[in-house]
Amino acid sequence: MNLQLAEVEKHQALGVKPSILTLRFDHLQQWLKEQGEPSFRASQIYQWLYEKRVTSFEEMSNLSKDLRGKLANDFTLDTLKLITSQTSSDGTIKFLFELQDGYSIETVVMRHNYGNSVCVTTQVGCRLGCTFCASTLGGLKRNLQAGEIVAQVLEAQRHMDQQDERVSSVVVMGIGEPFDNFDPLMDFLKIINHDKGLNIGARHITVSTSGVVPKIYQFADEKLQINFAVSLHAPDTETRSRLMPVNRAYPLDQLMESLDYYIEQTGRRVTFEYGLFGSVNDTSEHAKQLAKLIKNMKCHVNLIPVNEVLERDYVRTPKEQIDEFEKTLKDEGINVTVRREQGHDIDAACGQLRAKERQEETRG
Ligand code: SF4
């Protein structure tokens, strides 16, 4: 096979097969060409994968036996095994999946009145060390391949097929820093957005970063019309460094400059995620500083009352203070909402289910 796909070649060097879900539509066409097959087969294969959602190449009945054999020879179709799931009283479902190499990842389905949204994980663990996050406690184990991210959406859709419902939006806000796994992330976005794939509209996809500045420039240059969120969590560089060590590598002023560039290139607004941590970043003074930092910027602020994390010391901000923070921003002319909490009665904070599973494994 003469495919110029780093991921595929890496797998072959290791003697393992890549998942077919890792292939973008144009890459699949390229592979077919190398097999001497017409390019329209790519549409047929995508239809089997993403519309009919088959679980084996054998089921692709309008392909020749020979082509099904070649597919099975070069690729796998099974990437995720369900270990457990939890369903919250508000309908939020949290899945814990096992990857082929035994690592586990989380995927969350959230129910909104405007549709069902899936929150995907991009890495096994994370190296960025945000001090409020359980997912970073064990460090980064490895990056996910595009196909392993796609498979999370596909599995969520399979689950929803049972209720005749559809995944209407995707948020890349699960475990890991998406921009730390940039190329597979871009492939993932193209696969789920493709009209022959899961056909999730660009404006129904959101990518969130903790602020990896060089990748923000690269992302801006892609000029994708998807939603873009940045975890800000503090209006000054000192508090931000305390919460997010990534701020030491890419300080706040550099981050803001890169976001100006993003807005200029794409014409799109930025959403700032701002987690409220009791007595750390949640006073009216912080709100005023935040308003000053982002004034006149094409943006929106999403305030997140954070869940307490078992392994960390942060406490929740009282309701009245959340209201006060919101009001201060509004008075300063900032576009702001408070995120509705979901899955509060299950382990819904990023990484909690996986951390709990690990503890149980250790205990067992
Ligand atoms: S919040 Fe996100 S970027 Fe920060 S350590 Fe956790 S997973 Fe990584």
The number of the ligand 1 atom at minimal distance from the alpha carbon of 210 is 3
Output the pLDDT for position 313: 76
Output the pLDDT for position 351: 46
Q: How far apart are CA 66 and CA 245, in angstroms?
A: 53
Domains 6-74 and 81-363 share a fold: no
Confirm or deny that 119 is annotated as ligand binding.
no
Output the pLDDT for position 264: 98
Q: What value does the CA radius of gyration of the chain take, rounded to a whole number of Å? A: 21
Residue nearest to atom 7 of ligand 1 (CA): 176
For residue 175, the CA-to-ligand 1 centroid distance in Å is 7
Q: What is the pTM of this model?
A: 0.91
Mutate to test the pocket of ligand 1, among 120, 136, 240, 242 (most ligand atoms within 8 A of CB): 136
The number of the ligand 1 atom at minimal distance from the alpha carbon of 244 is 4
**Does the beta carbon of 105 lie inside 6 Å of ligand 1?**
no
- Supply the CATH classification number for the domain 6-74: 1.10.150.530
Confirm or deny that 177 is annotated as ligand binding.
yes
Domain range annotation of the chain: 6-74, 81-363
Output the pLDDT for position 133: 86
Task: Write out the chain's pLDDT in tens, 364 residues.
Answer: 444 456 566 666 666 789 999 999 999 999 999 999 999 999 999 999 999 999 999 999 999 999 999 999 999 997 799 999 999 998 999 999 999 999 999 999 999 888 999 999 999 999 999 998 888 889 999 999 999 999 999 999 999 999 999 999 999 999 999 999 999 999 999 999 999 999 999 999 999 999 999 999 999 999 999 999 999 999 999 999 999 999 999 999 999 999 999 999 999 999 999 999 998 999 999 999 999 999 999 999 999 888 666 556 788 899 999 999 999 999 999 999 998 665 555 444 444 444 444 443 333 3
For residue 308, the CA-to-ligand 1 centroid distance in Å is 15
What's the CATH fold of domain 81-363? TIM Barrel (3.20.20)
**Does the beta carbon of 130 lie inside 6 Å of ligand 1?**
yes
Output the pLDDT for position 316: 87
**Does the beta carbon of 176 lie inside 6 Å of ligand 1?**
yes
Output the pLDDT for position 310: 55
**Does the beta carbon of 280 lie inside 6 Å of ligand 1?**
no
Output the pLDDT for position 363: 34
For residue 176, the CA-to-ligand 1 centroid distance in Å is 6
**Does the beta carbon of 175 lie inside 6 Å of ligand 1?**
yes
- Annotated active-site positions, please? 106, 350
Q: Which residues contact 252 (CB under 8 A, 6 or more apart)?
A: 234, 236, 237, 240, 293
Q: Which residues contact 94 (CB under 8 A, 6 or more apart)?
A: 85, 86, 87, 88, 106, 107, 108, 109, 343, 346, 347, 348, 353
- For 309, the token pair is 């994390």
- For 18, the token pair is 């890549």
74 in Cβ contact with 37 (< 8 Å): no
Closest to 297 in 3D by CA, of 257, 325, 331: 257
For residue 243, the CA-to-ligand 1 centroid distance in Å is 11
- For 131, the token pair is 């001090």
Mutate to test the pocket of ligand 1, among 121, 177, 181, 244 (most ligand atoms within 8 A of CB): 177
Closest to 174 in 3D by CA, of 270, 94, 276, 92: 94
How buried is residue 298: exposed, middle or buried, by Cβ count under 10 Å (0-12/13-18/19+)?
A: middle
Backbone angles phi, psi at 110, to 5 degrees: -115, 140
Mutate to test the pocket of ligand 1, among 106, 135, 216 (most ligand atoms within 8 A of CB): 135
Output the pLDDT for position 312: 67
